[in-house]
Structure 1
Amino acid sequence: MEINTAERLVKKGRMSRRDFIQIAIAAGLSAGAANLTFTSYARAEPKKGGRLRVGLAHGSSTDSLDPATYLDYYMGTVGWGALGNGLTSFDETGNVKPDLAESLEPSNKAARWAFKLRKGTEFHNGKSVAAEDIVASIRHHMGDGSKSPVKALLAQISELKADGDTVVFTLAAGNADFPYLLSDYHLPIMPMGENGQADWASGIRTGAYVLNKFVPGVNASMTRNPNYHGTAWFDEVEVLSILDPVARQNALATGEIDYMDRVDVKTLRFLERNEELEIDQVSGYGHYTFPMNVTAAPFNNSDVRKALKYAVDRQEIINKILGGVGDAGNDNPIARNIKYAIDPMPAHTYDPEKAKSLLAKAGFSNLKLELSASDAAFTGAVDAALLFKNSAEKAGIEINVIREPADAYWDNVWLKKPFIASFWHGRPTVDWFLTYAYAAESNQNETFWKNPRFNELLVEGRSELDDKKRAEIYAEAQQLLHDDGGQIVLAFPRYVSAHSKKVAHGDLIPGWDVDGMKIAERWWASN
């Protein structure tokens, strides 16, 4: 077949990427050029109209429109990605950019930040966005009574005020990464109510879509915002919670949904054979973990924690659960593609004899534990726990795997039980993620690990503008977490999703799944 014929078939959605690349290579193109050519032909030009139905692996009956309660991609995709905007967001290269802000200006060695608002932006009810709305939205997550996941991140703000069309943040110390923090999906901008508080309950935001109906743990339906300051292609968007990966795959195959996240890699080959579907893989910052509550026995013993880190065969989990699609963790939660990331030593590779010696040092000849897991944590989490059970037996560790219900796993198990399966989205900067997930004051610290030196380093690194010194500070912090922390970082998987060729997209936002949770705004109907 000639390359021109192959190109026409790709444009019509009648040729797979694999077949096109084979033909293109035979015609003299390199593999990289062939892949780029396929992508350029396969993507239809954006046009308004149609309906997008998204099936996600998260969602719970306890979900709320209150962004201070968002736990996962489901509410991030609905409440932030579709309904809302932050002051900043990410572009396709993973760099931060202004969103509702028009410009941002640091001063006083990055201890003061002024965000000038974009002109002409409105809430869904027609009200113009004012600086006071920004202040109320940020303060919604601050204060003694707040349980927001980003409370610890925002604790560095010593003063927040509206100044005309500008919002001014004064920090306790300089932070060169501060604009990144304001792109967090917990921080959609909401209208200020008559009581001076942010109005989260109405679901009124600034985003590309307006909420029609929200049933927690079931679905959210939305229609295009005709007055959106950006682009929005679909007439309607529906986001469904489909926790079971087989059910998500069946829904995609039968046309009930157009997109599914968290493809089970064991079935990836079958999906790739379906010429009506397209597969995407994105390298992100996310990672799968088995966290231990270090305040609960026996995890309060550092040698027990180290023994468990040597008792898990991470490569076996990657091979059997992730189908080889991912990289083994080394108990440092910072992805290797993030600036200042290190690979701590010694490497925590599978070594049952080393685990035995550490248990003996801790005073244990054998150890019995319970490990709670559900595929709500990550696809294959229960099977990964069972593999851990088998590998740990050789180290004299008996693990009883508790299969937890998927619904409300994050409410009833996470932060409640001492040894569980978990998943983190990760963040694009070292300070952001370590502060969010491991700082002593963070209410997201699932290991309850509190190390005074570690917390000192976070403060030092945040305000240090010398690049070399900052790298040294963050290297020490990561090493401390690796050596003494309560997290077992299993793997850094790739985000694998599938979608119907009836919908299309441009370059995907790296780092977070579901196109940076902005799928509703950034995708379009292809026919």
Structure 2
Amino acid sequence: MSEDQSRRSFLTKGALLSGGLALGTGLLSACGKDKPGAAAANGPPRAGGKARIAIIAGAQTGNLDAHKPLGTGSFRGWALYAKLWEWDREAHPGLALAEFTEVNDDATKWTIRLRKGLEFHHGKSIRAEDVIYSLRRLTDPALASPYGSYLPSLQRDGIKALDPLTVTIPFEQGHGLAALPELWMSWGGIVPTDYDPVTNPVGAGPYRLKNFTPGQRSTFSKFENYYKPGQPYLDEVEIIDFKDPISRLQAMQTGQVDVAPTIAFEQLAFFKSSDQFEVVSSQTDAWHGFAMNLSKAPFNDPRVAKAFRLIADRPELVKRVLHGQGRVANDLYAPSDPTFDRTIPQRTRDLAEARSLLRSAGHGGGLTVELVTTAGAGGNAGIVFAQQAREAGVEVKIKLVDDSIFAGPDKNNWTFSTIVGVSRPFLLTLQQHDGPRSAGNKTHFQDAEFTRLVTEAAAQPDVEKRKGLVGAAQRIQHDRGGLLIWGFSNNQEAVSRNIGGVTPDRTAFSAWRTDALWRRA
């Protein structure tokens, strides 16, 4: 899978794939109606016990590879592997295995020192050689991990150990990387030099692997020498794969499951009324939109792309596609990033201006476009937008394709398609989606001034100095980019009242933090 598609696919299938289109106004709210329960972690965490986590795997079997996770492999990776940094609950990076990190003035050299006394699951001490091995493995062309492409300016042959616990990591001159924590973290599991994802899947995460049956379940036992004192709390974690939200719901109803990350919208009513479960709702920056391929007609005319952004009724899309569980977006991602420019005016619907732009672009007699998407939220968004577009004289024909085709070789070549992104900072999302070095640029957005600005921003360690560069780049995105981002979705997780440690989390993955889970009874 390219990009961090496994995470986005998980969000889509868990919450949206089976989610129906809201046609009325009686929508559920994830806020203010949840009953207090154990998931709110009443009292101090208790040690011992087991938690069973149910994930939607579809037809995917997944794997255990730290650097090239497939299917639901990313979820298992949170239990099995530890990184130099980890996401905090506001989706910002914080130190984990690393005790100290430092970047030079142009972000072409990072120095990282490990904590003392760290161990892998099999007892080997974690040393600089393991950090070097892990980073080189991630970026090895032979492995062909899509996440290695997030570090395009890395000088992998120049990575060196200064001492047993300290490494230096160099980047190309003129292409420094101040955002190394964000771009490396999620796929940066530190593994030993004798690592093998099949025969020796050893990490330093909160749990060590006990057994793994692809496509069915995996069981992990507590790692006593985990780097966080007193954690993890549970003796065992079991991750169970389900084909769809319905089968998972049935398992929860019969008490076979304790935690269900990212539940479907239409299941909220059941969980909110249940005495067994609590719904933990998180406001996230996970975004939903449409990608306009600016290299192809009709979007190679900037007037058409601008018209489509003016056609969108964003509040209606949030209401009907997300069932009200979200908020309106402004064609820009990463609103929680400290560099986000909040002075850019919110774009609103303007059909008169949209029609005028289309007429000036030669489409006064009408325009027909094909929207490529998948069943679920994408298809629902397509239906709503198609209804909105007819009012501007645009016919949107929806083409539903299988997930494997949508994410296949043609994924970046569709003229008009749906797109989603997870809740992450600006420079990471840029590298994933529409940046000058992005391997997943469905919009084919190219702009010399934008490239200059984001290249300078990526090499600027000073956040205050970076703000002006990012703000100027975002104004170009907002004016000339190819992303029509209409909304941000909330994330809901159903948690047994016997389980604590699942709390609101902007990353949308609170239940993935297995080191924080504990059993009340």
Instruction: Please tell me the TM-score bracket, short chain as reference.
Output: 0.7 to 0.9
Does residue 1:456 correspond to 2:455, yes or no?
A: no
Shift of 1:237: 2.1
Instruction: Provide, for residues 477-509 of structure 1, a one-character-per-residue CA deviation record: whole Å limited to 9, x for no partner.
Output: 11111222221112111222111112111654x
> Contact 1:352 / 1:394 at 8 angstroms: preserved in 2?
yes
* 2:370 match: 370
* 2:430 match: 434
- The residue type paired with residue 76 of structure 1 is S
- What are the equivalent positions in structure 2 for 1:266-415 lying under 5 Å apart? 266-335=266-335, 337-343=336-342, 345=344, 347-364=346-363, 365-374=365-374, 380-406=377-403, 410-411=407-408, 414-415=411-412
Match of residue 475, structure 1, among 440, 464, 471 = 471
- The residue type paired with residue 519 of structure 1 is R
Match of residue 206, structure 2, among 205, 208, 226 = 208
Instruction: Provide, for residues 46-73 of structure 1, a one-character-per-residue CA deviation record: whole Å limited to 9, x for no partner.
Output: 233332222234565274433444477x
Instruction: Provide the rounded CA distance (Å) in 2 between the counterparts of 1:413 and 1:521.
Output: 39
Instruction: Provide, for residues 196-252 of structure 1, a one-character-per-residue CA deviation record: whole Å limited to 9, x for no partner.
Output: xx6444422111222344455544332323443331223332333446444443333
* 1:192 match: 193
- The residue type paired with residue 310 of structure 1 is L
Instruction: Provide, for residues 354-373 of structure 1, a one-character-per-residue CA deviation record: whole Å limited to 9, x for no partner.
Output: 33222222222322222233
Instruction: Provide the rounded CA distance (Å) in 2 between the counterparts of 1:63 and 1:91.
Output: 26
Matched position secondary structure for 2:509: helix
Instruction: Provide, for residues 312-332 of structure 1, a one-character-per-residue CA deviation record: whole Å limited to 9, x for no partner.
Output: 222112112223221111111
Shift of 1:291: 1.6
Does residue 1:526 correspond to 2:488, yes or no?
A: no
Instruction: Provide the rounded CA distance (Å) in 2 between the counterparts of 1:330 and 1:100.
Output: 36
The verdict on how the C-alpha distance between 1:300 and 1:414 changes in structure 2, with shifts beyond 3 A counting, is same
Single out whichever of 169-178 and 320-329 deviates more from structure 2: 169-178
* 1:25 match: none
Instruction: Provide the rounded CA distance (Å) in 1 between the counterparts of 2:402 and 2:251.
Output: 21
Shift of 1:393: 1.4
* 2:481 match: 485
Instruction: Provide the rounded CA distance (Å) in 2 between the counterparts of 1:488 and 1:395.
Output: 16
Match of residue 99, structure 1, among 96, 99, 103 = 96
Matched position secondary structure for 1:513: coil
Matched position secondary structure for 1:252: helix
Shift of 1:181: 3.7
The verdict on how the C-alpha distance between 1:207 and 1:413 changes in structure 2, with shifts beyond 3 A counting, is farther
Instruction: Provide the rounded CA distance (Å) in 1 between the counterparts of 2:81 and 2:134.
Output: 12
Single out whichever of 136-145 and 446-455 deviates more from structure 2: 136-145
Does residue 1:505 correspond to 2:501, yes or no?
A: yes
The verdict on how the C-alpha distance between 1:200 and 1:361 changes in structure 2, with shifts beyond 3 A counting, is farther
Does residue 1:421 correspond to 2:415, yes or no?
A: no
Instruction: Provide the rounded CA distance (Å) in 1 between the counterparts of 2:121 and 2:142.
Output: 28
* 2:160 match: 161
Does residue 1:51 correspond to 2:55, yes or no?
A: no
Instruction: Provide the rounded CA distance (Å) in 2 between the counterparts of 1:177 and 1:504.
Output: 33
> Contact 1:332 / 1:343 at 8 angstroms: preserved in 2?
no
> Contact 2:304 / 2:358 at 8 angstroms: preserved in 1?
yes
* TM-score normalized with structure 2 length: 0.82
Shift of 1:95: 4.4
Instruction: Provide the rounded CA distance (Å) in 1 between the counterparts of 2:406 and 2:310.
Output: 27
Instruction: Provide the rounded CA distance (Å) in 1 between the counterparts of 2:372 and 2:242.
Output: 21
Shift of 1:97: 2.5
* 2:170 match: 170
Shift of 1:82: 0.7
Instruction: Provide the rounded CA distance (Å) in 2 between the counterparts of 1:71 and 1:299.
Output: 33
* TM-score normalized with structure 1 length: 0.81
- The residue type paired with residue 457 of structure 1 is L
Instruction: Provide, for residues 96-142 of structure 1, a one-character-per-residue CA deviation record: whole Å limited to 9, x for no partner.
Output: 32211122234456543321112222222322222111112112233
* 1:19 match: none
- The residue type paired with residue 489 of structure 2 is P
Instruction: Provide the rounded CA distance (Å) in 2 between the counterparts of 1:433 and 1:110.
Output: 19
> Contact 1:151 / 1:442 at 8 angstroms: preserved in 2?
no
Matched position secondary structure for 2:471: helix
Matched position secondary structure for 2:456: helix
Instruction: Provide the rounded CA distance (Å) in 2 between the counterparts of 1:332 and 1:280.
Output: 26
Shift of 1:166: 0.7
- The residue type paired with residue 259 of structure 1 is V
Instruction: Provide the rounded CA distance (Å) in 2 between the counterparts of 1:466 and 1:401.
Output: 45
The verdict on how the C-alpha distance between 1:305 and 1:191 changes in structure 2, with shifts beyond 3 A counting, is same
Matched position secondary structure for 1:420: strand
Instruction: Provide the rounded CA distance (Å) in 1 between the counterparts of 2:169 and 2:197.
Output: 22
Instruction: Provide the rounded CA distance (Å) in 1 between the counterparts of 2:485 and 2:256.
Output: 35
The verdict on how the C-alpha distance between 1:239 and 1:66 changes in structure 2, with shifts beyond 3 A counting, is same
- What are the equivalent positions in structure 2 for 1:13-28 lying under 5 Å apart? none
> Contact 1:370 / 1:402 at 8 angstroms: preserved in 2?
yes
Gaps of 5+ in 1: 1-31
Matched position secondary structure for 1:357: helix
> Contact 1:56 / 1:240 at 8 angstroms: preserved in 2?
yes
